[in-house]
Amino acid sequence: MSDEHRPVTPSITVGELLVDPALGLSVQLLTGSEGLRRRIDHSRIQKSGLAMVGHLHGLVPTRVQILGETELSFVESLSDEGRAKAAHDLFSLELACVMVTRGVEPPPEFVERATATHTPLVVTNARSSVAIGAIHALLDERLAPRTRIHGVLVDVFEVGILLLGKSGVGKSEVALELVMRGHKLVADDVVECDYRPPGMVFAEPAEPLRHHIEVRGLGILNIRDLFGVTAIRERKRIDLVVRLETTEDESKFDRLGHRGRLKEVLSVPLPEIVIPVRPGRNVSDIIEIAARDELLRRAGVDASSRFIENIDSTLSNGHTHHRPSVAPESVVGRTRGGTGRQFGESSVPPPLDAPRTRGPNRRRLDDD
């Protein structure tokens, strides 16, 4: 079963947009109250200047249309017939909403056509740039693509780590141990994810599960009550995905840490590592190290890449660019008769030579 549910792109009605306190604009509805249930499903506005000259191609009805000073000054320069035609063309599209900025009173032809087509016509005192910024900020929040993931999200050293794995593999227990070490729980069991440009995924808990965690044998625990507000975080960006596996298939596990594996969440590729879960293995320690390694990678320090580059450099410094063949005896120690170690040789001291003896008593020389 997939960890991620089908992504959902929400929408918002014009009425919900206008009364939302987060909008931060003073708005007045002039006409078109019948259309307040029309839906907005795009987070970007449109400026309708080209519609004033009859060019309607590309105009999206489900976006907020802005008429600013430039557009209205052009409309005022038109003849009566020209203004009537511009108003007819614009409002014939059953637009979700038309907003006039700078507190300018729209032409009577526009008010008439908005009333006839039940299109909400709104006036705000804010400048176009301020109004556009406020609408974008609100719609980015309300219309962000969302999905729900079965997993656990923790904040380890300011790195958002999403724990995935089959039910019962121990995700919640690992999260609880990390909290006891001073890290933060974001969400357990249900992780609500939403997209944020440019290419980031943020997540928070499902509301009924906020601050709670389920641990088999103990039941539901309130982390905030147990450890205080410093043990929880309301929302966090996902930086790394850690999948816990109980399989014995060694091919699933990265031996070099090259981070070639990715997990897509809301079409955003996130680095994913697979950690084997076995008796006696402290997974919390490994996740802490994974978080530290992620911080180093952000700073440009990639231990695995550096290691591979050093190996390649060592191999290419010889007479040939091919991997040299290593004598079998060099795996355990110096090549007999040699003076130095070859690449691939163990760092363990070589075994002692066979005891050297003299005379009939077969005494070892170092006994003297």
Candidates 305, 318, 306; CA nearest to 344 is 318
CA distance 221 to 206: 15
Q: Check 255, 319, 321, 356 and give the catalytic one.
A: 255
Q: Check 113, 171, 211, 212 and give the catalytic one.
A: 171
Candidates 208, 207, 215; CA nearest to 177 is 215
Q: Indicate if 255 belongs to the active site.
A: yes
Query: Cα–Cα–Cα angle for 202, 213, 217, nearest 5°?
Result: 150
CA distance 25 to 33: 18
Question: Regarding beta strands 268-276 and 240-245, do their DSSP bridges make them parallel or antiparallel, or are they unpaired?
Answer: parallel
What is the phi-psi region of residue 228: left when phi exceeds 0, alpha when psi lies from -120 to 50, beta otherwise? Answer: left
Quick check: 126 and 26 in contact, CB under 8 A? yes
The H or E element containing residue 290 is helix 283-298
Q: Indicate if 171 belongs to the active site.
A: yes
Q: Check 85, 148, 150, 237 and give the catalytic one.
A: 150
Torsion angle (degrees, nearest 10) of CA 298, 304, 309, 312 = -160
Q: Check 189, 224, 297, 341 and give the catalytic one.
A: 189
Catalytic residues: 150, 171, 189, 255
